[in-house]
């Protein structure tokens, strides 16, 4: 018999100081609950619905595929942040991760040691922390690789702390914002593009140009983290009647707000962040903004 929190408190007092682990340890699960736990399908960790990192990865993959490159022609150097989740299918844009800032330096190394195309990904916070100095060396050593600075205007993975790129410090006080693009230009990078990665076509085009560039190419993929507080909830998407169930949206975009359930493709309105990327991805124009909201 599973004990309720009230029963637990009546036996142990309510001086448990919020230690839920202790409570759960002392719970006796019913056989039914154990069966339910065993029957729940496992779910791989994934980027949030509406996350701009997903859009950047979608565009990067589309770019190299449309250029005729195979996965084996590519090396994806990753760094430490939510975006390390690019390791999972369908993107597979994080082949390895060594240490904070390493995507830049070892991306350079791989670009010299192999004939593969190197794409490195680093977040804005990690770039400030330790991506700067290897970029200086990359320019000096005339390396050829594509570095994406995934600038979501926050330190998302550790809970939303500010970083030097935004005009607020850790105490919530006004602070000078340091411009990533000014730094990149000052270092001497000649190819630098700033893009909203939710604009898929534009981002794919920029990645194609960057992959062809003979030198250090920096793409700043800038869009605020979908979890930053205070963002207005917009109108969610809906799947229209002309959906042919090709599952392109489910399999190649993999937004957690879109599922294939009971023989239908559906959007979970509670999860949808209205980034509109799925509209751009559907080859049949079968996704649109929900009317009447
Ligand atoms: S990509 Fe478009 S047509 Fe294909 S399953 Fe998704 S909504 Fe339907
Ligand atoms: S608009 Fe589409 S891709 Fe964006 S969060 Fe909603 S369902 Fe996902």
Decide if 232 is inside a domain.
Answer: no
Q: Please say if the pLDDT value at position 4 is more than 50.
A: yes
Decide if 77 is inside a domain.
Answer: yes
User: Distance, CA 235 to ligand 1 centroid (Å)?
Assistant: 19
Which of 63-77, 104-118, 223-237 is predicted least confidently? 223-237
pLDDT band at 150 (very low <50, low <70, confident <90, very high): very high
pLDDT value of position 20: 55
What's the CATH number where 148 sits? 3.40.50.970
Q: Are residues 35 and 70 in the same domain?
A: no
Q: Are residues 165 and 266 in the same domain?
A: no
How does pLDDT run across 15-46, given as a tens digit for each residue?
Answer: 555 555 555 555 666 777 777 777 887 778 89
Q: Are residues 71 and 125 in the same domain?
A: yes
Q: Are residues 91 and 27 in the same domain?
A: no
Query: Ligand 1 pocket by C-beta < 6 Å: which residues?
Result: 239, 243-249, 265, 282, 284, 286-287
Q: How many domains does the chain have?
A: 3
pLDDT value of position 62: 98
How does pLDDT run across 172-191, given as a tens digit for each residue?
Answer: 999 999 999 999 999 999 99
Q: Are residues 73 and 215 in the same domain?
A: yes
Nearest atom in ligand 2 to 274's CA:
1
Q: Are the beta carbons of 221 and 147 closer than 8 angstroms?
A: no
The reply to whether ligand 2 has any atom less than 6 angstroms from the CB of 122 is: no
Q: Are the beta carbons of 148 and 56 closer than 8 angstroms?
A: yes
Burial grade of 67 (CB within 10 A; 0-12, 13-18, 19 or more): middle
What's the CATH number where 250 sits? 3.30.70.20
Q: What residue numbers bound the domain in which 185 lies?
A: 52-222
What's 231-287 look like in SS3? CCCCCCEEECCCCCCCCHHHHHHCCCCEEEECCEEEECCCCCCCCCHHHHHCCCCCE
Two structure tokens written together for 121: 């990904």
Q: Are residues 86 and 143 in the same domain?
A: yes
Q: Are residues 260 and 128 in the same domain?
A: no
Decide if 281 is inside a domain.
Answer: yes
């Amino acid at each position: 018999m599973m004990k309720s929190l009230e029963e637990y408190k009546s036996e142990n007092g309510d001086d448990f100081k919020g230690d839920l682990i202790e409570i759960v340890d002392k719970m006796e699960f019913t056989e039914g609950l154990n069966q339910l736990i065993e029957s729940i399908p496992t779910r791989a960790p994934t980027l949030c619905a509406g996350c701009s990192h997903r859009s950047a990865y979608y565009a990067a993959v589309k770019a190299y595929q449309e250029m005729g490159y195979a996965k084996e022609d590519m090396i994806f150097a990753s760094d430490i942040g939510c975006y390390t989740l690019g390791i999972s299918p369908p993107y597979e844009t994080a082949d390895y991760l060594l240490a904070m800032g390493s995507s830049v330096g070892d991306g350079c190394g791989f670009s010299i040691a192999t004939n593969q195309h190197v794409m490195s990904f680093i977040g804005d916070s990690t770039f400030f922390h330790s991506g700067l100095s290897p970029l200086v060396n990359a320019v000096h050593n005339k390396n050829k690789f594509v570095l994406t600075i995934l600038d979501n205007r926050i330190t998302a993975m550790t809970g939303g702390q500010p970083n030097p790129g935004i005009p607020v410090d850790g105490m919530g006080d006004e602070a000078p914002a340091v411009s990533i693009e000014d730094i990149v230009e000052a270092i001497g990078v000649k190819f630098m593009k700033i893009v909203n990665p939710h604009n898929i076509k534009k981002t794919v085009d920029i990645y194609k140009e960057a992959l062809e560039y003979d030198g250090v190419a920096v793409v700043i993929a800038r869009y605020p983290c979908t979890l930053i507080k205070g963002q207005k909830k917009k109108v969610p998407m809906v799947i229209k009647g002309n959906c042919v169930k090709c599952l392109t949206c489910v399999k190649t975009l993999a937004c957690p707000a879109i599922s294939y359930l009971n023989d239908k493709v559906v959007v979970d309105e509670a999860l949808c962040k209205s980034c509109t990327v799925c509209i751009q991805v559907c080859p049949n124009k079968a996704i649109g903004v929900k009317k009447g909201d």
